[in-house]
Amino acid sequence: MTAAFSNGQPAEDLHHIFFGRGRRKISDDHNLVIPLTVEEHQKAHGPKAREHAEKYCEYMGIDFDKTLLAINSLTNPLKKRDAKKYLNGLTIKMAVKLKSLELDSKYNT
């Protein structure tokens, strides 16, 4: 799979765009991941983690603020249902985008 920000270099890591405080599992459940090089992955967990997460969401075509709000709303009984619906909508969208990155690297080698 091609790394998202590496000029066609292969991805070595799959980064969970939302992590910490139980978010890693939610990222897993909804394909909220992005292929990165090791170098880019280190930046993703550095002091500018949020800026990087915003950039990754933009690249993957999802709204950072809405997605974070939905993740944070999963524990709210009144908002849980809508949050799940929103996140379930992203699951397929992310799978399609990840597949396209996979195909890009297959045909650009």
The binding site for Zn ion (CB under 5 A) comprises 15
Minimal CB distance to Zn ion: which residue? 15
> Which residue has tokens 């459940």?
29
**Alpha helix segments (H runs only) across 2-108:** 23-29, 38-44, 49-60, 64-73, 80-107
Of 37 and 105, which has the nearer Cβ to Zn ion? 37
The count of other CB atoms within 10 Å of the CB of residue 27 is 21
Residue 15 vs 97, nearer CB to Zn ion = 15
Reported residue count of the chain is: 109
Give the nearest distance from C-beta 89 to Zn ion in angstroms.
23
CB of 13 to Zn ion, least distance (A): 7
Q: How far apart are CA 39 and CA 43, in angstroms?
A: 7
**Least distance in angstroms from the C-beta of 41 to Zn ion:** 6
CB of 1 or CB of 79, closer to Zn ion = 1
Q: Judge whether 36 and 15 are in contact, CB under 8 Å.
A: yes
| Beta carbon of residue 64, minimum distance to Zn ion (angstroms, whole number) | 16
| Closer residue to Zn ion (CB): 43 or 79 | 43
